[in-house]
Amino acid sequence: MISNQRVAVVTGSSSGIGLETSLTLARNGFLTYATMRNLNKSENIISLAETEKLPLKTLQLDVVDDRSVENAIRSIRAESSRIDVLVNNAGYTVNGAFEEHAMEEIKAQFETNLFGLIRVTQAVLPIMRRQKSGIIVNISSAVGRFGYPGGSVYVSTKFAVEGLSESISYELEPFGIKVVLIEPGVIRTNIVNSMVTAKKSQDPNSPYSQLMQKVVRSLERMMENGSSADVVAKAVLEAVTTENPSLRYLAGKDIESWMEAKRSMSDEEFYKMMKENLK
């Protein structure tokens, strides 16, 4: 039997934005594949889905693993025959002075945040192209549009996601496939606990030590006032249920003013403001 139910796939659904987005999509009628690399973390989402009788299934998908991605997408296609929404959410942050990052730390960050997104998107695109419809939602960041000290590697991955998304939107439009960037501000999730700090930047004798400490204190302050993950989930829902979605959606209470500053200030003024924020 062919169902009209729209099918959504979300990566990194074990916590934070991915978990909230999977639940929100399922609550709004999408048959949702809440994928995660470690299914041992699926208890919470499964129990919520059972209690609320949501159309939600969990599935193993590690974005850095070719075979895991292939298997997951193949089994979704076999079971549901279509994928209408892909939310590329899986990611983490590395922090540290650029000079002190080991190449392995940099490559690992790109492997998840950029190549992981590419791997999953390339696996899903043939399905969307054949069905002549679909929407790819890439969870970028406010820092997909401006840099900050200590964030050079993470920020680079998000700038890359922005450039990639903007470029493929031209290629995919003729096939009825839309591309959306979600740019969250500071959101209270597990991202702080999973943050990786460059080994050399942890050394108190590092020449960047003072600056890095300021950055971490400022990130912690911002996190305390961060928005909850449901504001991002709502932005995703809006994007995937609107007939003509915008390329970019901001999400989070602080983000509008940051973007306004970025739009209205010269690079020099913005730089000065960022430095003030780090005091």
Nearer to ligand NAP, 38 or 266 (CB): 38
Is residue 36 a contact residue for ligand NAP (CB under 6 A)? yes
Q: Which residue is nearest to ligand NAP (CB)?
A: 16
Cβ(164)–Cβ(139) below 8 Å: no
Q: 105 vs 7, 27, 70, 97, 110, CA distance in Å?
A: 35, 37, 25, 12, 9
Taking CB under 6 A as the binding criterion, the range among 13-21, 25-33, 101-109, 259-267 that sits at the site for ligand NAP is 13-21
Residues 6 or more apart in contact with residue 192 via CB below 8 angstroms: 219, 220, 223
- Exposure on the CB side of residue 51, measured as CA atoms within 13 A: 7
Nearer to ligand NAP, 118 or 133 (CB): 118
Residue of 89, 95, 109, 156 interacting with ligand NAP (CB under 6 A): 89
Residue of 16, 134, 149, 150 interacting with ligand NAP (CB under 6 A): 16
Residue whose pair of structure tokens reads 């998840």 in the numeric block: 112
* Catalytic site includes residue 154: yes
Q: 36 vs 10, 40, 95, CA distance in Å?
A: 8, 9, 23
CA angle 147, 110, 99 (to 5 degrees): 55
* In the complex, minimum distance from the CB of residue 128 to ligand NAP, in angstroms, rounded to a whole number: 20
Distance CA 244, CA 277 (A): 37
Residue of 7, 8, 12, 127 interacting with ligand NAP (CB under 6 A): 12
Q: 44 vs 4, 18, 29, 220, CA distance in Å?
A: 28, 13, 20, 26
Give the interface size with ligand NAP as a residue count (CB under 6 A).
29
Taking CB under 6 A as the binding criterion, the range among 59-67, 101-109, 203-211, 270-278 that sits at the site for ligand NAP is 59-67
Residue of 42, 141, 165, 201 interacting with ligand NAP (CB under 6 A): 141
Q: Which residues are catalytic?
A: 154
Residues that bind ligand NAP (CB under 6 A): 11-12, 14-18, 36-38, 41, 62-64, 89-92, 112, 116, 139, 141, 184, 186-187, 189-191, 194
